[in-house]
Structure 1
Amino acid sequence: MELRRKLTDPRYLFYLVTLILSLILLFIGQTFMPGNTENSLIFAFAHFIPAVGALVGLIWVKKDERKDYSVIVWLLFFVSCYALNRYANVFNATTPWFAVYLVITSASLLMFRYTDHLPQWARTITGMLAGLALIAYIYLSLFLFPLYPMSVIALIALGLSIHTFVPLILCLVVGWNLSRRRLWKSGLSGMGLGLAAIIIFSMLYNLQLSKLTHIYNRQQVRGNGRLPAWIEAARQLKGGFVMERVLKTGIVYREATGSLSDILGEFSFRGIGNFNWENETEHDPLVVIASMFFPGRPALPAERIKILEAMYDKRHQGEERLWSGNSLHTSYVSTQVKIWPELHLAYTEKALTVTNSERWGMQEAIYTFQLPEGGVVTSLSLWIDGKEEKGILTAKGLADTAYRTIVGRERRDPSLVRWQEGNRVSVRVFPVNGGETRMFRIGVTAPLSVENGRLQYDNITFQGPPLRFTTEDASIELAGKSEGFTPPAGFRRSGAGWEREGRYRKDWHLQMNNTPIRPNTFSFNGNSYSIRPYKLQRKPVRTDVIYLDVNAAWSRSEFDETLKLTGKRRVMVSLNDQLTDVRDDNKDDLFYALHCQRFSLFPVQDIIDPEHALVVTKNLPFSPSLRDLEDSRFRKELDTWLADSSLPKIRLMNLGAAGLPPYLKTLKESRVFRYEQGGLLQLAVLLSTNTFAEDAETADRVVIDQAQAVVERTLADSTAAQNAVRAPDHLMRIFAYNHIVSRKGKGLITSSGTEEALVNVAKEAYVVSPVSSLIVLETQNDYDRFGIKDEGNSLKNASLKSKGAVPEPHEWALIVIVLLSLTWFIYQRKWKPANA
């Protein structure tokens, strides 16, 4: 009867439901609402008021039951603490594992009311979970200890400061219940488990920190100095829960400074440089405690950022920032896609709204877009005073100078999009003022890829200010035949296209049948650009030496099978940045040593006879980029080697199903390789037939491998152009970008080559490239003083309403003559005098 009364007590159930609803509301706020805004303060009061009401309501609860009710009351205040933290950031963001830990252990306190009716095993579990909860409350109490004096004073004027004492009160509540319910033994067991976990983590933390430091220092002393020491550390480290926290301490995770004040809660966060990791610092108690007992974080500050970028592909977070972007979030994304299946081309426009949740101050928004191979940015616009202003294309250096001058000194409106390694582009928008939003639009022209015999479009992905609170509307328009079309999940038919609205989704794609390319032509400025199908062609080759680029991505069976396929040819690998022959007596040792490396940086400059060499590679997606190797001896040797224009392209066979890592991707874009991709079976065919893909590109011909298409430039023939199917201007833009990359070739790496002619090609087609950028400035005077001019006959910014062939100058003259003749013929009678 007693148990039934407790289970059906309507007042207690009301308190319990209030706690559950408060927790759900906290989860919704964490997911959908940015912090440090007026709304987040209202959100905090939405939790605080029910907690205060529950506390006052204890007056009407029977005295012998108040202790059971008080558990819920103080848990309500505990939830309110984290709601208030959204506005007054005391704890920083709670790391996910600790949030789950708090929910589970705190929920166990609700079982105190029923312990007299539980079996012994359930009582033991309840006591152990309560002991684990007590460990967390003690930690948080110490963390907040420095605020106690100020909070006591503020308690008289502002009731909100009661939150400072909630963890301490919960310590008393748990301790009293463990004693009263005779659960102190199991409670101590739970505390022992928690302390053991803390000690074990701290020891592992110290071991991993020592390992990192040892590898780095050893490479500094004993290495050959060819590569930076952090490279060796990055490829030897295994990652994992503990190592990830070692690397991110002081960057992502809050840390202790190592002084006595830390024990009393004066923890401090010290970021490194302007590194910005998802715009949010996380509070992980394990990291704070471990860094307090093993204060080794100051070692390798800049190097650890590079290690993180290489191991976790977080280069966006390492972008140079002229202004902070810590309180920004992306609030809205509009995606519009137009696809030409018969051209294997697509154009995507993304309009993004970025919001500053601070009340005042200005910040800089930085986005990084990952483009498909062969894709190019072809439009940019920024809203200034409510009006959309289009970008102007100019030389990369000129655009950088203008942006830095205005943002760094004058603090007025610019936006800039610039090309980066790995076919990424960064977009910068400034300023985003406190409490306001800014909107910009970017357009990307890209080829479709052929995957397993079907055409595929992949959404253009990006990184930037947090996307947890982002809504999106997306639309897809198909121009031409699209048999076998498979829309992305969530898209619905709307007129001639497909649409979707809702929460932002990053990864989606669509497929359709591989529509044969229909010859199309676009004419402009005396040239015609035509697209037609392309099929890889191979030609006979001689292979004397095979280089295996082995790392953690290779399996032992792949390594052994590849060795069999090489036959009697010489086989070499790169170990410790030195080429070594593979023999029967050393292949096991070589594979073990190389397989322990997360990534490899194969020294192509060491290849003995490039014309008769084949490099076989397989890699994980992440590796350092060439930019990371600046000023290293490895990079200088590579630049010297690439500067020799007489060297033939190296044959590269990729055994991986995915693409290449940043290092090899940049070399491929720079036309260092003749490239093929496939498995061991394809490698066997190539070696047995002594053939490989030919180099089909010329100054007037670019190959889009993934689209199985070739785009050619010829002198315009007015008769042929009239008879040809007219393509959109995106055809010329795709050609121009790939032409620039192809012509600049190895100069992409060595920063050499004739820039001016390539800049003119980029200006004509209006494409962002290694030599050109798009920029929006506030006034015409800004453009004039930096010498940025939108001159010459060019395609201007691309749009969804892309035009077909543009009339040539002589065609414009004919059109004007015809129009004038028609006007004279129609109105000639009206113009005659009345007496005529």
Structure 2
Amino acid sequence: MELRPKLTNPAYLVYLVVLILSLLVLFIGQTFTGINDDNQLGLAFVHYVAACLALFCLFANREEGKDLFVIVCLMFFVSCYALNRFMNVFNSTTPWFAVYLIITSLSLLMFRYMHYLPGWARAATGFVAGLALLAYVYLAVYLFPLYPVSIPGLIALGLSIHTFVPAVLCYVTSRNLIRHRLWKTGIVGFAAGLLVVIVFSLTYNRHVNQLTRIYNRQQVRGDGRLPAWIEAAQQLDNGFVMERVLKTGIVYLEGEREFFSFRGLPSRNWGNSLEHDPLVTIASLVSPKAAALPEERIKILETMYDKRHEGEERLWSGHALYTSYVSTQVKIWPELHLAYTEKALTVTNTERWGNQEAIYTFQLPEGGVVTSLSLWINGKEEKAILTTREKADTAYRTIVGVERRDPSVVRWQEGNRVSVRVFPVGANDTRMFRIGVTAPLSAVNDRLQYDNITFQGPPNRFTTEDISIALEGNADGFTPPPGFRRAGNAWEREGRYDAHWHLQLDSSPIIPNTFTFNGRSFSIEPYKLQRSPVQTDVIYLDVNSAWSHAEFSEAVRLAGTRAVKVPLGGQLLNVTAKNKDELFEELHSQRFSLFPLQNITDPEHALLITKNPPASPSLRDLEGSLFREELAAYLANNALPKIRLMNLGGNTLSPYLRALKESRVFRYEQGGLLQLNVLLTTNTFAGDTETENRVVIDQAQAAIVQTYDSAVVVQEAAAAIRDTVTTAAPPAAPAPGKKDTPGVTAGKPLSNAPDHLMRIFAYNHILRETGKGLITASEGQEKLVDVAREAYVVSPLSSLVVLETQHDYDRFGIKDEGESLKNASLQSKGAVPEPHEWALIVIALLSLTWLIYQRKWKPANV
């Protein structure tokens, strides 16, 4: 028979088109999360009916029966995975295995044209068919325990025919390989695939043994200062296989020891189903169980692969949620080096019934703080109330865990992160919440940079987003991100969600400005790093895998005659010319490091030099450990000076050191080896210029100062009087090359700053005042809750919470009382004088009037 009729046979083409359409429908159902899981049963039924109709029609076309039967088998195979969306037949398949099945199964369609292919193409087809046969054999064996109940089910339900589809495909593939004399190349393909499985299993086994050996050794021989899982995470190999070892039984389906025992009928997909990776399933079946418990392996994953969001505690499932829409509005004040961002997120539940809990983790810029939260309840936006962290957590857990009504809460977390929880997201419904973040702009190479506020949460692959950016004041050199267009006074973009974008503009000099509220003024002013003389006797190197040998050697050389020490085995060792290479190799094998600050005996004359990967344990992970207790006892000493920390890793700090930096444990500088050389040569280091009434935002090159308004008003009134007396003299011309700033006279700052100045001051003030108290759990932290409540900022001591009714607030003792800024908004304005300020202003104006007219009144009274 010629090739042309084979290619144009109408019956074959119809079957082939139906198979392709089935694949497309399956792809849509698997990919687009907006399709309800319960509707997947309807799609599975469509696939099943199409395959059954094709099977019945097959008897009417016996001439093409052999070739058409291959397509029918593949249609039933597609129907298996369509049914798998509703019932756990194979569990959720990993992407690589799905692609593997599609590519190898195409070889079965090539058997129809085998007589027309050249020798190399025949061999390639046989090889790929051998790979397909390996997959079919695995799936047939995997489903073997279901055979006893599936045989009676063929008569009762008919759907159980899917159990035998892989076995039938094994027969079809083997028969075609033999019929077309391709069994030799088929065996080669089968053996090649089997070799990959064996190699992976051996590697998997080696990694399991490594995890067990390190974990058990730390349990038995460790000094107990750190949890065994932290020391294991520090030493484990990083890579594809180790990640799967840690995720076995948590993310990936684990092979059952009694593999051929009856596992029961496939169950309804209620919860988060495990992914089915054949390599992991087989390897875990032939490997011993890892010593670390699942909870500890989750912590290792959080540490090694930055999976902290995935490790968040859940009160309800969220597997059927996805983020459908994001609205981002940004307001930037270039002359204040400040920005406010509001994000409104819509989360959708695709389940037909059952409430779910949405959890989001937002990564904030350094120095950024959450200043607003709202939740839509019954179609109305309800603003959050700021309260203590404990009250907010109690209210949320009680309502979500017991009463199942409408709360939302935002919590502060270490490492410039916050988590937002929303409940309930009803079946086939959506919920919307809004979060506001106040943050400084970053000064990067004489440019100001705004970075988008990113988040992790329900999937956002198909999320749409609209963004609006408004600039207040001088915006010279503004560079909009790609895709943005001008819309009046703003820049806008609408389209697919993009997490990683930023914008830059020229670094405008900070114009002093003030915000006044509740008896105090908050003024922003330029800040430049100020160094002070220091004496360095000992240099400590925090060495790990992030260091290169050249960096280590250069740091030792720059130390000169100063002592150089590194932590190893629970003690600090001196680095010498003889042992430095050996010490480096041992320290460099550690993925991360947790430098024991408590071992620094003379912090005033010490310098700590660090460089760390971004993924490592946080202070929270150390709770309950001897290491944490020793650190807390060390930092509890109020006379302890701040430790000088030099970061060679640019803007990257480990979560451990970042939390200590936020708590004002360090005097901090960052840079390279050249800057380190300058610091050591000149014996200088960054000074500590923060006080109770002054906070420094070093990344924005700004400082915010708090003053008492009464004194400010009197000073301004006195200055105004002095200026008026000397008004006979004309104003001095501006210096050459300088321009007058509109609205700013010499020596007089503006007083129309947004309330975000007070919010950023309050947040940093809280971190500074709590400081080491967050680590030492010392008393006296409660008074700072009032500071957070007044500025309405989320902090280590405070949270924003939205409850459904006023009765809910009352019974949990959550009250919105006292003078406060309330939730921030895009319409934030400057200060309005308070009553006592009006009185002082009136006195100043009357005095001014008397001075102006006193000369005119004197002659009349003579």
TM superposition score normalised by structure 2: 0.89
Partners of 2:436 and 2:825 within 8 A in 1: yes
Q: 2:489 aligns with which of 462, 479, 496?
A: 496
Distance 1:180 1:549 in 2: 67
Deviates more, 1:75-84 or 1:99-108: 75-84
Q: 1:509 to 1:45 in 2, by over 3 A?
A: farther
Q: Is residue 255–residue 267 contact of structure 1 (8 Å, CA) maintained in 2? A: no
User: Using the alignment, how far apart are the partners of 2:587 and 2:81 within structure 1?
Assistant: 47
* Residue aligning to 1:776: 802
Q: Deviations over 1:184-208 (max 9, x none)?
A: 1111121112222222222221111
Query: Any conservation in 1 of the 2:88–2:266 contact (CA below 8 Å)?
Result: no
Aligned-residue offset at 1:168: 2.3
CA–CA distance in structure 1, aligned partners of residues 817 and 249 of structure 2: 49
Structure 1 unaligned blocks of 5 or more: 817-836
Q: Does 1:473 align with 2:476?
A: no
CA contact (8 A) 2:146 2:265 kept: no
Give me the whole-angstrom Cα distance separating, in 1, the residues matched to 2:528 and 2:840.
Answer: 41
Residues 186-335 of structure 1 correspond to what in structure 2 (within 5 A)? Answer: 186-261=185-260, 281-297=274-290, 299-335=292-328
1:380 matched residue in structure 2: 373
CA contact (8 A) 1:418 1:768 kept: yes
Cα deviation code 1:20-63 (max 9, x no counterpart):
444344334333224653443344355445544544553554x3
**Aligned equivalents of 1:149, 1:354: Cα separation in 2:** 43
Matches of 1:425 and 1:642 in 2, distance apart?
25
Are the equivalent residues in 2 in contact too, given 1:33–1:40 (CA < 8 A)? no
Amino acid paired to 1:214: R
Alpha-carbon distance, 1:107 to partner: 1.7
Aligned-pair CA distance for 1:523: 0.7
Aligned-pair CA distance for 1:11: 4.6
What do residues 279-314 of structure 1 show as CA deviations (whole Å, max 9, x unaligned)?
A: 563110111112222241464332211111110111
Give the secondary structure class of the aligned counterpart of 1:539: strand
3-state DSSP of counterpart to 2:374: strand
CA contact (8 A) 2:651 2:670 kept: no
Which residue does 1:517 correspond to in 2?
510
Question: Of residues 579, 585, 592 in structure 2, which corresponds to 1:586?
Answer: 579
Aligned partner of 2:829 in structure 1 is 803
Q: In the alignment, is the contact (CA less than 8 A) between 2:713 and 2:841 conserved in 1?
A: no
User: For 1:733, which of 759, 762, 772 is the aligned residue?
Assistant: 759
How many angstroms apart in 2 are the aligned matches of 1:477 and 1:240? 43
Are the structure 2 counterparts of residues 91 and 803 from structure 1 closer, same or farther at C-alpha, using a change threshold of 3 Å? farther
Which residue is 1:143 aligned to? 142
Which stretch of the first structure deviates more once superposed, 127-136 or 481-490?
A: 481-490
Q: Does structure 1 conserve the Cα–Cα contact (< 8 Å) formed by 2:513 and 2:749?
A: no
- 1:559-602 C-alpha deviation (Å, 9 max, x unpaired): 11111111111111111232111011111110100111100001
- Relative to structure 1, the CA distance from residue 472 to residue 156 in structure 2 (aligned partners, 3 Å threshold; closer, same or farther) is farther
Q: 1:57 to 1:679 in 2, by over 3 A?
A: farther
Question: Is the CA contact (8 Å cut-off) linking 1:132 and 1:191 kept in structure 2?
Answer: yes
Letter in 2 for 1:44: A
- For residues 158-178 of structure 1, the C-alpha deviation after alignment (integer angstroms, 9 at most, x for no partner) is 555443332222222211111
From the superposition, tell whether residues 289 and 652 of structure 1 become closer, same or farther in structure 2 (CA, over 3 Å): same
Q: Highest Rg: 1 or 2?
A: 2
Give the whole-Å Cα distance in 2 for the aligned partners of 1:443 and 1:587: 50
How far, CA to CA, are the matches of 2:463 and 2:435 in structure 1? Answer: 17
C-alpha separation in 1, matches of 2:273 and 2:675: 46
Report the CA distance between 1:462 and its aligned residue. Answer: 1.3
In 1, Cα distance between equivalents of 2:60 and 2:509 = 79
CA distance in structure 1 between the partners assigned to 2:314 and 2:225 by the alignment: 30
The aligned residue for residue 822 of structure 1 is none
Say whether residues 1:787 and 2:813 are aligned partners: yes
State the AA in 1 paired with 2:200. F
Is residue 664 from structure 1 mapped to residue 684 from structure 2 by the alignment? Answer: no
**Structure-to-structure mapping, 1:616-695, within 5 angstroms:** 616-695=609-688
Structure 2 CA distance for aligned equivalents of residues 655 and 185 of structure 1: 59
Paired with 1:245 and 1:285, the residues of 2 have a C-alpha distance of 12
Aligned-pair CA distance for 1:148: 4.2
Structure-2 separation of matches of 1:635 and 1:501: 47
Q: CA deviation at 1:365?
A: 1.8
Q: Which runs of 5+ in 2 are unaligned?
A: 718-747, 843-862
Give, in angstroms, the shift of residue 157 of structure 1: 6.5
Q: Which residue of 2 aligns with 1:354?
A: 347
Instruction: Measure the CA separation in 2 of the matches of 1:87 and 1:471.
Output: 27
Counterpart residue number, 1:19? 19
1:7-86 to 2 correspondence within 5 Å?
7-9=7-9, 11-34=11-34, 37-45=37-45, 47-48=47-48, 50-59=50-59, 61=61, 63-86=62-85
Check conservation: 2:452, 2:502, Cα contact below 8 A. Answer: yes
**CA-atom RMSD in angstroms:** 2.5
Partner of 1:535: 528
Cα distance in 2, alignment partners of residues 738 and 19 from structure 1: 62
Residue 787 of structure 1, CA deviation: 1.4
- CA distance in 1 between counterparts of 2:199 and 2:217 reads 26
Superposition deviation, residue 791 in structure 1: 0.6
Q: Would the aligned equivalents of 2:372 and 2:824 in 1 still touch at CA under 8 Å?
A: yes
**Cα distance per residue 1:369-406 (max 9 Å; x no partner):** 11111100101111112211111001111222222222
Query: Given the superposition, is the C-alpha separation of residues 496 and 60 from structure 1 closer, same or farther in structure 2, using an over 3 Å criterion?
Result: farther
Are residues 1:758 and 2:751 paired?
Answer: no
2:130 aligned counterpart, secondary structure: helix
Q: 1:641 to 1:179 in 2, by over 3 A?
A: same
Q: What amino acid does structure 1 have at the position aligned with 2:224?
A: G
> What letter corresponds to residue 711 of structure 1 in structure 2?
I
Q: How many residues align?
A: 807
Q: 1:180 to 1:547 in 2, by over 3 A?
A: same
| Worse-matched range after superposition: 213-222 or 464-473 | 464-473
- Which letter maps to 2:404? R
Q: Please list the CA deviations of residues 694-747 of structure 1 after superposition, one character each: whole Å capped at 9, or x if unmatched.
A: 111111111111111111111123474997241111111111101100111111
Instruction: Determine the structure 2 residue equivalent to 1:423.
Output: 416
1:355-370 equivalence runs, <5 A: 355-370=348-363
In structure 2, relative to structure 1, the CA distance for the partners of 1:65 and 1:617 (3 Å cut) is same
Give SS of 2:524's match. strand
Could you tell me which residue of structure 1 aligns to residue 604 of structure 2? 611
The CA deviation at 1:753 is 4.0
Distance 1:156 1:474 in 2: 57
Identify if the C-alpha distance between structure 1 residues 695 and 231 changes in structure 2 by more than 3 Å, giving closer, same or farther. Answer: same
Q: Would you say the 8 A contact 2:520–2:708 is kept in 1?
A: yes
Residue in structure 2 matching 1:460, options 453, 465, 481: 453
Is the contact between residue 35 and residue 86 of structure 1 (CA under 8 Å) also seen in structure 2?
no
- 1:403-414 equivalences under 5 Å are 403-414=396-407
Structure 1 residues 208 and 483, CA, compared in 2 at 3 Å: closer, same or farther?
Answer: same
Q: CA deviation at 1:18?
A: 4.1
> 2:96 corresponds to which residue?
97
How far did 1:345 drift?
A: 1.1
Q: What amino acid maps onto 1:106 in structure 2?
A: S
CA apart distance, 1:8 = 4.2
Aligned pair in 2 of structure 1 residues 283, 815: CA closer, same or farther (>3 Å)? farther
CA distance in 2 between partners of 1:24 and 1:285 (Å): 24
Shift of 1:657: 2.7
In the alignment, the residues of structure 2 paired with residue 713 and residue 167 of structure 1 have an alpha-carbon distance, to the nearest angstrom, of 73
Q: TM (normalized to structure 1)?
A: 0.92
Partner of 2:385: 392
Kindly provide the amino acid, as one letter, of the partner of residue 772 in structure 2.
K
Where 1:394 maps in the other structure, the secondary structure is: strand
Change in CA separation of 1:478 and 1:241 when aligned onto 2, cut-off 3 Å: same
Give the Cα–Cα distance (whole angstroms) in 2 for the partners of residues 42 and 266 of structure 1: 24
Identify the match of residue 713 of structure 1 among 706, 712, 716.
706
Code of the residue aligned with 1:169 in structure 2: it is V
